[in-house]
Amino acid sequence: MSGPLLEARNVVKEFPGPRQGFLGMSRATVHAVNDVSFTLDRGETLGVVGESGCGKSTLGRVIMRLLPATAGQVLLDGQDSAALERADSRAFRRRVQMVFQDPYASLNPRMTVGEILAEPFLVHQGMKRSASTARVAELLSIVGLSPEHASRYPHEFSGGQRQRVGIARALAVEPDLIVLDEPVSALDVSIQAGVVNLLRKLQGERGMAYFFIAHDLSVVRHISERVAVMYLGRMVEIGTRDRIYREARHPYTRALMSAVPIPDPTLERQRQRIILEGDVPSPIDPPSGCHFRTRCWRATEICANEVPPMTGDAKHAFACHHPVETPVQLGESPVPA
Amino acid sequence: MAEPLLEVEDLTVSFRTDDGAVQAVRGVNLSVQAGEVLAVVGESGSGKSVTAMSLLQLLPPTAEITGRVSWQGEDLLSVPPERIREVRGGEIAMIFQDPLTALNPVYRVGDQIVEMVLAHEKVGRAEARKRAIEMLDLVGIPQPDRRVDQYTHEFSGGMRQRAMIAMALACDPKLIIADEPTTALDVTVQAQVLEVLADLAHRMGTAVVLITHDLGVVAGMADQVSVMYAGRIVESGSVDQVFDATGHPYTSGLLASLPRLDGDVDAPLLPIPGQPPSMLAPPPGCAFNPRCRWASEEAGCFTVLPPTAERSPGHRSACHRADELMAAGLLDRLAGAATADVGDRGAM
């Protein structure tokens, strides 16, 4: 048990794209996740950031085995997760759980919260419904709700409360890993803070690992020990929180960070933003070489010809031919004027 | 100070529903000067979008609006419908959150801008088309002479939002109302769009009312800020006054709950406990009292509606205890972390 809890090795996920060609006889391929490798230790949080279409949610679903990988492997405690799931899918799901973005869509509106939370005990532990009541009450209080809430339906709860129910459901089987897909982005900020604190507290008490998918760099910074940045299906940079937020080397990470608004008017007036040109290219026909080169201010010929390899160590690695050398300064832009 | 371009006085909006009247906006005052960016901030259900929509009478007939919306001296709530149509798009333009629903998918983008110009100005079609291309170029859409003949599905999210800004600018309005213009966009695209908007506002002297929930965007864009809670403006002032000399516990709570790129990562965030009240039956006294850690019986927080008072020139807030809390520095940005009982404060 000395290796990482989770290891992704060259994971690729492709989807069939729109029909094309003569009479639509051929199909394009959407390259959603492209050769992604990383590790996640026990009790650790890996924050995964990137913009719409970068493949972060698809990667989360591949880890959950909600989607099969096209190529590559995901290992849980050194064992191939596809094989684990085939052999005993319930045992696999006891170890890996998920919290979804939309707490309105991910809870069955016809079940009471008590029934929703009893389900894991009935399915995974063969418990009788009557015996699960005490466990449900315990779960509710762990996530900051009261046991009386068990008899209510999801629509009677606010968004933040519903997300707590989603978290409680994931906790029920005491998993080793929870994949959280944008768990707080649908919530108002005053409510979001409470859910972020709850996730931190639960991890401190129970030691499960989080694969935390989000687009909000400020939230990710508050919850992650390590952070991975994705762009158009590839992981472009990964490292410890401090290295990423202080010394990010990949131009895309820098642009992303520079675009995040900070609620401080004095600082905002001083900031020089890196404004990227254009839009994210289509994952059906990504650019050759480095995917970011079409929007990168540092791109040269080599970027179009060669895919930059991931270089670095366990603390910090990035895939760029022309990494930024200077440390991150929120008030300044690394783009020469 | 010059005569304000737009002045809203004691605006109320309520909606008739089967459960009774929902009081979405309850006595809002706003004032926008020419060339100024006013941000109206609030969370879901605070009434900020309803306020924006009521200015141009874009609400359904179930809405009952009272008060005064004075546009360069003219009360928009009592002018005939023909006049409102003139103002809409011509003098005051609006940008919506979702360009896919705001733009018509079966018309070319250029034709929609042309239609807008023809509706408001006495120019020919060729002239209007030239203007459309000019506007698309102005908002940074590449190859505008080709893009003008495309449909919205051929545009990316960021470009659609720019096209909507182009349309809003086409008749050279004096005021743009932008309702969450970047909420649906990714952060790098948001930065592009905000830059376009800020640049145009400053270059062309167009005033902007920016409706948003994002305090980061406010800090970067706004000159003036009004913070809304439960249908009322609880604090207003310059962006520096509101962020650096905060005068209302709700504003202070919002700022403390926000994770920041430059904040202390090890300190827990401070959520505001509880949740916003139902607008069917808002609590008596100050609507924020159930969630306010400073609410007290003696100050009247539970019984008396707090009046809006000036805290410094141009800076107002509606809180019974504001003077006392501000003097003690308890509403400052970092005060929360030092004094609050940290941890998971049961906020739901």
Pairing relation of β-strands A316-318 and A234-240? antiparallel
Residue A58 CA to chain centroid, in angstroms?
9
> Could you tell me the CATH superfamily of domain A6-318?
P-loop containing nucleotide triphosphate hydrolases (3.40.50.300)
Summarize pLDDT for A113-122 with one digit per residue, the tens.
999 999 999 9
pLDDT band at A57; cut points 50, 70, 90: very high
- Please report the ipTM that was assigned to this predicted complex: 0.87
pLDDT reported for residue B337: 45
Nearest to B39 by CA among B276, B235, B277: B235
Calculate what percentage of chain A has a pLDDT beyond 70.
Answer: 98
Alpha helices in A106-248 (DSSP H): 113-125, 129-142, 159-171, 189-206, 217-223, 241-247
Residue A215 near chain B (CB below 8 Å):
yes
Mean pLDDT of all residues in A65-80? 95
List B residues 202-261 in contact with A (Cβ-Cβ < 8 A).
Answer: 213-220, 239-240, 243-244, 253-255, 257-261
- Could you give phi then psi for residue A157, rounded to 5 degrees? -105, 155
Q: Where in chain B is the domain with CATH 3.40.50.300?
A: 6-227
Subunit contact A221:B344, Cβ cutoff 8 A: no
pLDDT reported for residue B141: 87
For A163, name the nearest residue in chain B, comparing CA atoms only. B348
d(CA B271, CA A321): 42
Residue A273 near chain B (CB below 8 Å):
yes
pLDDT reported for residue B346: 38
pLDDT reported for residue A80: 95
Classified as helix, coil or strand, B82 is: helix
pLDDT reported for residue B310: 96
User: For B28-31, which contacts have Cβ atoms below 8 Å and span 24 or more sequence positions?
Assistant: B28/B67, B28/B228, B28/B231, B28/B232, B28/B233, B29/B233, B29/B308, B30/B6, B30/B209, B30/B226, B30/B233, B30/B236, B31/B4, B31/B6, B31/B7
pLDDT reported for residue B97: 84
- Chain position carrying tokens 């480095």: A290
Summarize pLDDT for B294-318 with one digit per residue, the tens.
999 999 999 999 999 999 999 999 9
For A54, name the nearest residue in chain B, comparing CA atoms only. B186
pLDDT reported for residue B3: 82
The structure tokens listed for A8 are: 């992704």
Please give the biggest Cα pair distance in chain B: 69
- String of b and e for A225-263 (b: at least 16 CB within 10 Å)? bbbbbbbbbbbbbbbbbebbbebbbbbbbbbbbbbbbbb
pLDDT band at A261; cut points 50, 70, 90: very high
Summarize pLDDT for B154-202 with one digit per residue, the tens.
888 888 888 998 999 888 899 999 999 888 788 888 888 888 888 888 8
- Chain position carrying tokens 């994770």: B259
Q: Residue A73: pLDDT above 90?
A: yes
Chain B interface disruption, residue of A188, A271, A332, most B CBs within 10 A: A188
Q: Enumerate the residues of chain A whose CB falls inside 8 A of the CB of residue B253.
A: 190
Subunit contact A193:B257, Cβ cutoff 8 A: yes
Q: Enumerate the residues of chain B whose CB falls inside 8 A of the CB of residue A200.
A: 268
Distance from CA of B216 to the nearest CA of A (A): 4
Show me where the domains of chain A are located: 6-318
pLDDT reported for residue B341: 42
pLDDT reported for residue A125: 86
Mean pLDDT of all residues in A29-40? 95
For B238, name the nearest residue in chain A, comparing CA atoms only. A265
Residues, chain B = 348
d(CA B80, CA B82): 6
Fold of B6-227: Rossmann fold (3.40.50)
- Chain position carrying tokens 């131009």: A251
pLDDT reported for residue B347: 38
The residue among B209 and A278 whose pLDDT is bigger is B209
pLDDT reported for residue A1: 52
pLDDT reported for residue B343: 38
Residue B189 near chain A (CB below 8 Å):
yes
pLDDT reported for residue B140: 83
Average predicted confidence (pLDDT) for chain A: 91
pLDDT reported for residue A335: 53
Q: Residue A210: pLDDT above 90?
A: yes
Low-confidence ranges of chain B (pLDDT < 50): 337-348
Q: Enumerate the residues of chain A whose CB falls inside 8 A of the CB of residue B243.
A: 263-265
